[in-house]
Amino acid sequence: MRRRLLLILAILGSCAVASFAIPLAIATADSRTQEFTLGREGDIQRFAVLAEEYVRTGDPARIAGEVEAYDDVYGEGVLVVSTRGVPTLGVGLDSNDPGIEAAIRSGLRNERVSTVERLFPWSDDEALFVKPVGSGAQVNGTIVLRASTAEARSDILRQWAVIAAGALVALVAFGALAIALSRWVLGPLANLSKGIVQLIRRMPDAKVPPASGPPQSVLPATAAGGPPEVRRLAHSFDVMSSAVLRAADVQQRLIADTAHQLRNPLAALQFRLDLLDDGIPDSAREDYHSVTEEARRLQSILDSLLSLASAETPRFGGGRSDAVCDALSVIADRVDFWSVTAGERGAHLETVVPAGIDHLQVGMGENDLSQVLDVLIDNASRYAGPHPRIEIGVAIEPAAERPEICVWVADDGPGVPEDVRGRLTERFFRASDQTGTGLGLSIVEVVAAAYGGRLALDEAPGGGLRVRLWLEHHRENVDDD
C-alpha cells in the first residue's frame, strides 16, 4: 500500500511540477525569441534605409561599409538585390543558394519574411529576415539578413537548465514530503494491525494471522479487496471481534452460572434460618437476627454485583444502541410500583412530566431505565430522611445537535455534602451513616454510559440530592395517512 501511495503521490507531484515548469520554459523561450527577433528587425530596418539610397543612386559607399562592418562584428551576412539595374551587393550570402533565392523572390513580391517562430535549443543554427526596399506598392529591391541563433539558443538552454534544476529540487522536496506523509498516514495503521495481532495472541482459542504475508480473509467477498495492509488489518479485526464475542458470551454464561450457584445456597440458608426462628432461645435471639441480616445483605450484594456485571457486559448485534423506550410510561410504572414501599418508609412520590405529551421516546432499554429508576427511588426513600418528598421528573432540553431527554429523581432531604457527592458512584462507597451495598449508583453510572448517556449529581432545589440522567431523544415517525 505504501508503494502504491508513493507512486500516486509521485505522479501527482510530477504533474504539478510539470504544469508549472513547462509553461515557464515556453515563456522564457518566447521572451528570448522576441528579443532576438526585435534586434534583427531593427538591424534590417536600418539596412533597408541605406539600401533605398543605394538602389536609387547606385552609390554603394555608405551601405557597403555598414554591411562589411556588420559581418565583421556579428558574422552575419547581408544581401541587397535591386530591380532598377544596380548590381547586387552583399557579404556572406550567395544569391544562388536555394534558400536565399526563395527569400529574394518573397521580398520582391513585397512580402516581409522572417523564418523565426519560436526558438528552442534544438532550432536551426540560422534564421533569415527579408524586407522589401521601396515605398508603398513600389518595390525597388529587397534586402536579406541571415542571423545566427546560437547565442539566443544558448541563453534559452541556460534558462531551461535553471528551470529544470528548480523542478528537480521541487520533486525531491515533494518526494520527501510524500515519504513523510505516507509514514504519517500508514504508520498508525501498521501499529494498529500489530497491536490487534498481539491482543489476539493473548486471547484463548484465537487464530493469529501469520507473521509473513496477508492472512486468508474470513470476511465476505465484497470486503476482500483493497491493499494488503488493509486486508490484513480487516482480517485481524475480524478475528479479534470473534474472540471478543466469545469472551462476552463466556462472561454472560459466567454471570448466569454464578447467579445459579450462589443464589440457591443463599436461598436455602435463609430458608433454614427462617425455620430456626421459633426454636431460637432469647439469649441467642440477637445473634440470630444479626446472622439473618448478614445473609440478607449478602444476598443484596450478590444481586447488585450480578446487575453491575450484566450492565458492564458488552452486547453485540442489535443491543443497546438500538434500544428505545417510552420514558413517560416507564416512570408511571415505577412510581406505581414503589408507591406502597415508599409510603411505608414515610416518603411521598411526585411526578413532573411535560404537559400535552403522551409519549417520550428515549435511547435506553425499558428494563435498564426501570433498573435506574428503581435504584434512585429506593435510595431516596431510604436515605432522604423520615418523611421526604421525592420528585421523579422528565423534560426535553435543547442541545447543540439534537434535543436530549433529562430524567431526574430529587428529594428534599438533608442532602449530601459536596465533597462526598463526587464519590457516590464509586463502588462499595457508603456514607458513614448509611447501610446498603454501595453499588446502586455505580450500576446507574455504568448503565447510563452504556447508552451514551450523561449522569450528574447535584443539590436539589429543595435542598436534598438530585440525580439527573440525560439520554438521546428518539422522535417517533408519524404516518401522515
pLDDT band with cut points at 50, 70 and 90 for residue 319:
low
How far is 324 from 368, CA to CA, in rounded Å? 10
pLDDT-derived band at 304, boundaries 50, 70, 90: low
Can you say whether residue 437 is alpha, beta or left, with left for phi > 0 and alpha for psi between -120 and 50 degrees?
A: alpha
Distance CA 394, CA 409 (A): 9
- Looking at the predicted structure, is the pLDDT value of residue 158 above 90? yes
Q: CA-to-CA distance for 27 and 365, rounded, in angstroms?
A: 71
Note the pLDDT of residue 225. Answer: 58
How large is the average pLDDT for residues 304-324?
Answer: 64
| Chain segment 33-74, per-residue pLDDT in tens | 999 888 888 888 888 888 888 888 888 878 888 888 888 888
Average pLDDT score over residue span 351-362? 87
* Ranges 102-116, 245-259, 275-289, 323-337, most confident: 323-337
Higher pLDDT, 448 or 2: 448
Q: Which residues contact 207 (CB under 8 A, 6 or more apart)?
A: 200, 239
pLDDT score of 476: 61
**C-alpha span between 9 and 180 (Å, rounded):** 12
228-312 folds as Helix Hairpins (1.10.287)
CATH 3.30.565.10 in the chain: give the residue spans. Answer: 320-472
Location of each CATH 3.30.450.20 domain in the chain: 2-156
28-32, 223-227, 446-450: the lowest-pLDDT one: 223-227
Q: Given pLDDT bands bounded at 50, 70 and 90, which one contains residue 133?
A: confident
Domain with CATH 1.10.287.130 in the chain: 228-312
Q: What is each CA distance from 204 to 200, 233, 242, 257, in whole angstroms?
A: 8, 20, 11, 20
Q: How far apart are CA 358 and CA 323, in angstroms?
A: 19
pLDDT above 50 (res 168): yes
- CB-based burial of residue 104 (10 Å sphere; 0-12 exposed, 13-18 middle, 19+ buried)? buried
Q: pLDDT tens, 292-302? A: 877 777 777 77
| Helix pair 61-74, 2-57: axis angle to 10 deg | 160
| Three-state SS at 458 | strand
Mean pLDDT of 389-418: 86
> Cβ neighbours of residue 143 under 8 Å, at least 6 residues apart?
44, 47, 48, 51, 78, 79, 80, 81, 107, 130, 131, 133
**Cα distance between residue 93 and residue 44, in whole Å:** 15
State the average pLDDT over residues 192-205: 71
Q: What are phi and psi of 122, to 5 degrees?
A: -100, 10
Q: What is the pTM of this model?
A: 0.49
Task: Give the pLDDT confidence score for residue 215 in this predicted structure.
Answer: 42
**Residue percentage of the chain with pLDDT more than 90:** 15
Of the two residues 396 and 4, the one the predictor is more confident about is: 396
pLDDT for the residue 218? 41
Q: Tell me: pLDDT of 222 over 50.
A: no
How far apart are the C-alpha atoms of 73 and 61, rounded to whole Å? 19
pLDDT tops 80 at residue 198 = no
| CA 303-268-439 angle, 5° bins | 15
The half-sphere exposure of 293 on its side-chain side, counting CA atoms within 13 A, is 8
Q: How far is CA 334 from CA 229, 349, 350, 371, 384, in A?
A: 53, 10, 12, 9, 18
CATH architecture designation of domain 2-156: 2-Layer Sandwich (3.30)
Pick from 62, 30, 31: which is nearest to 48 by CA? Answer: 62
52 or 252, higher pLDDT: 52
* CATH number of the structural domain 320-472: 3.30.565.10
Kindly state the cell numbers that stand for 45. 530596418
Q: Which residues, other chains included, contact 331 with Cβ-Cβ below 8 Å and sequence gap of 6+?
A: 351, 353, 373, 392, 394, 407
Average pLDDT over residues 134-143: 80
